[in-house]
Chain A
Amino acid sequence: MKYAEENPDGVTKADVIIGIPSFNEAPSISFPTTQADKGLVKYYKDRSAVIINCDNNSDDGTREAFLATSTQTPKIYVSTEPGVKGKGANLRNLFLKAVELGAHAIVVADADLKSITPLWIRNLCEPIFDNYDFVAPLYIRHKYDVTVTNNIAYPLTRSLYGRRVRQPMGGDVGFSGALAKQFLDADLWSDEVEAFGIDIWMTTIAVRGRSSVIQSFMGKPKIHKVRDLDSHLEMMFEDVICTMFDLMIRFESFWREVKWSRPTAVFGFGLGDVEMPPPVDLDTKKLWDKFISGMRADWNLYSTVISQENMNKLEEVVELPVGGFEFPSGLWAKIIYDFAITYRNQSMDRHELVRALAPLHYGKTLSFVTETNAMNNQQVEEFIEDQCVQFEKAKSYLVEKWFA
């Protein structure tokens, strides 16, 4: 784990930690560091605190940019070994430092955040001092942002573990020192968790462990540096799906007993005007092309993974024209469950299997865009809510096939 550490102020104890994971974020890391410092000074000046940059041994000067940022709060820099990359690997170092420093509350803020304010620190931290263990963020997001969350992570997590956490891989979270120790000691680490799987992993462990979980309204939308949506999605898709499926296998006796779902309380109202998120454009032609080319390339694979009944319905979907394209949510839920079962059975290479899910996800995303095109944010939330209910209703299908 931890390879290098710089602790210029000799910090040995901290009640509150703000962790900023990074890899080559020299141009952007000063902003969240400054906002974190302002938040700590404004809301937690009576508590001992430290800002920790957990880095992947960046070679672009991230370490120097972080340590040179002027703050009243002391800072620590830690890094993974050269060659070890991933947000999860960075957070593993953060959990270690949290335990070492005896922290009560830990907040994670992404290094490329452009919309973080001091209030975010309070909203992610305060519930921990009110005896909650895990704080998930609740942002206003554009309807076409976070398609993996809307179409897979949220409905699947909710139907499996029975807790409605709207942004289960939001990235910016708060958790207690006790939960940091649980994360550190968990024997559930994998290469995918050490990469982009970490966010859904933390949320799942928290809800499955019956930790007290709350969502915190952040007020401002999440805005980070511009990423290539396609390449980012491809990078994180496999990590996230593998992590969710691995945890399904591990926690099967728990989710088997879960029926329907319960809401999660929300912290953080009265934040003034709510800012709307910037628009996200999705290229429907590109989504269609990726869906159709995947169907052509992987049809034989699908027929070994997806049940005959669902294959028949998928065949109908493939024949729909792009203009009236629709991928029914009930079918989508059952296909996700079919993939999870094949993943568990190890009847084919797991990475090949998860990669083959991606074209179906593009198809589902295209359907989502088509169906919600004229909807406002609230209507889209209700649409997603209906989709989640389809996952919950199809759960009996999963249970029957998984435990057959």
Chain B
Amino acid sequence: MSKILIVDDEEGIRMLYSMELQDEGYTVVTLPDGKGLMEVIEQEQPDCIILDIKMREYNGLDLLQQIRKKYYDLPVILNSAYSSFKVDLKTVAADYYVVKSSDLSELKEKLKLALECSIPSQP
């Protein structure tokens, strides 16, 4: 089953998402902020990252730029309590942008789409 990396500085969110996604059959790894993110990606090889934007010491949009430099096609879903970050063009580099909600159905739907996406690797 697919492995999901959740990067969020709210412990409650990490716990909620972990439980819900594990119930759906995903393997879940969590990280409380961007510290060591690239190493964790290297080590865990996640199939998708759910990335918070506004964290205490890290900006998810900057982290996304770093991820894209090394992992061009690794699915990333931006997940923020704020919709206002959508105006930032850096969000274009994410697969999807989902505003946080107690109802995780949109997040789960976008996660499914991101994981199902396939483009032939050879021309």
Contacts and interface: CB of A to CB of B under 8 A. Distances in A.
A141 B48 CA distance: 32
B123 A262 contact: no
Contacts of A261: 117
B92 A260 contact: no
Given A263-B92, A263-B93, A266-B90, A257 B72 contact: no
B123 A260 contact: no
B92 A264 contact: yes
B95 A263 contact: yes
A257 B68 CA distance: 24
A208 B121 CA distance: 10
Nearest to B76: A263
A403 interface: no
B117 A259 contact: yes
Nearest to A377: B87
Contact of B94 (A166, A208, A263, A378): A263
Nearest to A209: B123
Interface in A118-164: 138, 161-164
B117 A260 contact: yes
Contacts of A258: 118-120
A343 B69 CA distance: 40
A257 B120 contact: yes
Contact of A217 (B89, B113, B119): B89
Contacts of A264: 92-93
Contact of B113 (A138, A254, A260, A263): A260
A169 B92 CA distance: 18
Contacts of B119: 161-163, 210, 257-258, 262
B86 interface: yes
Nearest to B69: A265
A212 interface: yes
A266 B86 contact: no
B116 A260 contact: yes
B40 to A, nearest CB: 21
Contacts of A257: 118-120
B105 interface: no
Interface in B68-112: 68-69, 72-73, 75, 86-87, 89-90, 92-95
A382 interface: yes
Nearest to A210: B123
A256 B98 CA distance: 28
Contact of B92 (A138, A161, A162, A210): A138
B93 A265 contact: yes
Q: Which 6 A/B pairs are nearest by Cβ-Cβ distance?
A: A260-B117, A162-B119, A265-B68, A209-B123, A259-B118, A257-B120
Interface of B: 68-69, 72-73, 75, 86-87, 89-90, 92-95, 113-114, 116-123
Given A265-B69, A378-B86, 8 more contacts: A163-B119, A210-B120, A210-B123, A254-B120, A257-B118, A260-B116, A265-B72, A269-B89
18 contacts: A138-B92, A161-B119, A162-B117, A163-B119, A164-B92, A166-B92, A210-B119, A210-B122, A254-B120, A260-B114, A260-B116, A260-B118, A261-B117, A262-B95, A263-B94, A263-B95, A265-B72, A266-B93
